[in-house]
């Protein structure tokens, strides 16, 4: 009997690792990768959008290499390791005869191929899902204390990768409720919670800002069948490319022959159903469902070992997928081959176009957590994203990075500028402008809380403003406004708001202290408002994101 790991497979995985490393070196960063690189410059137990695993991967990669490979090196390693774990999960002795079929199947899955070198939160999610399932398979065969310990650590690593990991763990548990009576399974859960406790503490320290934003504050829009639900089904096709008919045919023919197979099926169908239901509320992004590629790879390969017809067609269409993806991967480096200007194109050029005009002057980008870290990565100069009420909160909201540019001369870049001191073109050819600000002062972390707004015409309402900064802020440098949003939390209109301090004569917002104001709740300027919030504009900057969205009906029933 041949070994479990035939030489051919090891050579193919080694070749794949080499190709991904070369690709990583020559491909400019995605905007999200630059954002996660920015995470890694200040290691923490959590970040605004994601848990910290992606930052840790970049920190480790940076230890070995510089530049783009210093962001992606560990992703290349984990990609090949993920495919090897998939191979280990397949028991059939026939697999030794179809190594090429396995390799083509897993590498032809479009996003699984892309995450072979890109460093995104889904990269460790895929690896730790594969490792979790492999350990779970062994745990089903023999539930030892060592395996329980390993499962606990890996479950924590899954959750440190991306919050979607709760679906992986939850659906596997749902497939085998007898685990609730297994003491070693409970031990694994306790270990996972202990390992994950630093992130829980980070969430607590940061007022659960990530959950608050994603669950309550994030804007949405009205249901659109084509973009939401139909778009979800298009994503299911895009996930597998030309092989999709035979991939899903293999899934539908797969049976729950044992507890492990049952777990794989529960995981696939559970994720598909969960996001199908979600598609009636918001647009489902393709990467949200990528985790099904791990159980699907095992289920589909087991099926094609017994089905010559499906095996033949998946091999043919898989090779076609690889040819197309190979062409596109070259296009990531050589733009003329790519059908559109992609975000890996031209970033060095627009960064250099700015730096050649301003030297080492820091740059503040209005409403762009994408351009700010990209500029800093390729220039080495501090950059900052100043977020306002027309945008969204992000890591720049909570990490105190505005202190790096406070009081300095900066170049302020806004897409709304029609002229400025500096002009450049981005990668897509759009002309943008920047203006110098000699003494940049922003106070984006001022927070507002409405104690009692009352109804329009009811008289004075109470507003509390907390100043988290150590320094006091002159009130004359601030303007107050009230932002009206629709029921989908989209900003519709902002009105100036007249406020006066409760304590007459106060002229400062004292550092590390709250100041109370009176204001009168105005009539809504929009029909059927859903929410409102009190916002502040400091030093002639645009309105900030200061307060939470407040349901309008709560204050004006």
Q: Taking the mean position of all CA atoms in its chain, how far away is CA 172? A: 24
**CB of 3 closer than 8 Å to CB of 45:** no
Collapsed DSSP state (helix, strand, coil) of residue 547: strand
At 519, which helix (H) or strand (E)? strand 513-520
Q: Is the CA virtual torsion 508, 512, 518, 519 positive or negative? A: positive
Summarize pLDDT for 387-422 with one digit per residue, the tens.
999 999 999 999 989 999 999 999 999 999 999 999
Summarize pLDDT for 81-125 with one digit per residue, the tens.
999 999 999 999 899 999 999 999 999 999 898 888 999 999 999
Q: In this structure, which topology does domain 447-555 adopt according to CATH?
A: Immunoglobulin-like (2.60.40)
* Amino acid 71: pLDDT: 98
pLDDT band per the 50, 70, 90 thresholds, residue 455: low
Q: Is the full-model pTM beyond 0.75?
A: yes
The span from the CA of 142 to the CA of 383, in Å, is 53
3-state secondary structure 179-239: HHHCHHHHHHHHHHHHHHHHHHHHHHHCCCHHHHHHHHHCCCCCCCCCCCHHHHHHHHHHC
Place of tokens 């070994």: 3
Residues 6+ apart with CB under 8 A from 34: 370, 373, 374, 376, 377
**CB of 137 closer than 8 Å to CB of 260:** yes
Domains in the chain: boundaries: 7-335, 347-437, 447-555
The span from the CA of 429 to the CA of 26, in Å, is 22
The span from the CA of 384 to the CA of 405, in Å, is 8
Residue among 122, 121, 154 at smallest CA distance from 55: 121
Place of tokens 């690593």: 157
Summarize pLDDT for 188-223 with one digit per residue, the tens.
999 999 999 999 999 999 989 888 887 777 888 889
């Amino acid at each position: 009997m041949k070994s479990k790991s035939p030489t051919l497979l090891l050579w193919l995985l080694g070749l794949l690792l080499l190709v991904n490393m070369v690709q990583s070196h020559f491909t400019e960063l995605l905007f999200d990768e630059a954002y996660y690189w920015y995470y890694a410059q200040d290691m923490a137990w959590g970040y605004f959008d994601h848990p910290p695993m992606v930052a840790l991967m970049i920190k480790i990669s940076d230890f070995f290499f510089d530049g783009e490979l210093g962001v992606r090196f560990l992703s290349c390693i984990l990609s090949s390791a993920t495919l090897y774990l998939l191979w280990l999960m397949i028991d059939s002795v026939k697999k030794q005869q179809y190594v090429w079929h396995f390799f083509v199947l897993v590498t032809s899955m479009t996003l699984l191929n892309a995450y072979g070198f890109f460093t995104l939160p889904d990269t460790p999610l895929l690896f730790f899902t594969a490792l979790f399932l492999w350990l779970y398979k062994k745990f089903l065969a023999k539930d030892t204390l060592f395996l329980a310990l390993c499962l606990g650590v890996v479950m924590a690593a899954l959750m440190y990768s991306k919050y979607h990991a709760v679906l992986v763990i939850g659906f596997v548990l749902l497939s085998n409720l007898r685990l609730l009576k297994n003491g070693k399974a409970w031990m694994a859960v306790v270990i996972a919670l202990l390992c994950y406790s630093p992130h829980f503490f980070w969430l607590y320290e940061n007022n659960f800002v990530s959950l608050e934003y994603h669950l309550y504050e994030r804007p949405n829009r009205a249901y659109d069948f084509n973009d939401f639900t139909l778009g979800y089904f298009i994503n299911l096709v895009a996930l597998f490319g030309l092989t999709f008919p035979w991939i899903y045919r293999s899934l539908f023919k797969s049976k729950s022959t044992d507890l492990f197979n049952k777990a794989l099926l529960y995981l696939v169908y559970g994720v598909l159903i969960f996001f199908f239901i979600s598609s009636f509320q918001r647009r489902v992004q393709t990467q949200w469902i990528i985790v099904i590629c791990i159980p699907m790879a095992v289920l589909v390969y087991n099926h094609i070992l017994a089905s010559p017809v499906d095996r033949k067609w998946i091999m043919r269409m898989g090779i076609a997928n690889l040819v197309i993806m190979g062409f596109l991967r070259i296009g990531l480096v050589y733009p003329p081959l790519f059908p559109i200007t992609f975000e890996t194109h031209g970033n060095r050029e627009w960064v250099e176009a700015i730096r050649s005009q301003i030297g080492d002057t820091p740059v503040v980008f209005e409403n762009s957590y994408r351009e700010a870290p990209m500029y800093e990565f390729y220039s080495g100069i501090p950059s900052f994203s100043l977020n306002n009420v027309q945008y969204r909160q992000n890591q720049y909201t909570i990490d105190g990075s505005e202190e790096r540019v406070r009081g300095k001369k900066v170049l302020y870049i806004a897409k709304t500028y029609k002229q400025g001191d500096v002009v450049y073109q981005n990668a897509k050819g759009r002309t943008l402008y920047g203006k110098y600000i000699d003494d940049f002062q922003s106070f984006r972390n001022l927070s507002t809380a409405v104690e009692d707004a009352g109804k329009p015409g009811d008289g004075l309402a109470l507003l509390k403003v907390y100043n988290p900064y150590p320094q006091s802020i002159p009130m004359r440098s601030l303007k107050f406004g009230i932002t009206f949003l629709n029921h989908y939390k989209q900003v519709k209109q902002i009105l100036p708001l007249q406020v006066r301090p409760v304590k007459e004569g106060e002229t400062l917002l004292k550092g590390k202290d709250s100041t109370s104001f009176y204001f009168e709740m105005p009539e809504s300027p929009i029909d059927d408002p859903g929410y409102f919030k009190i916002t502040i504009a400091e030093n002639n900057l645009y309105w900030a994101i200061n307060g939470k969205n407040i349901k309008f009906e709560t204050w004006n029933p």
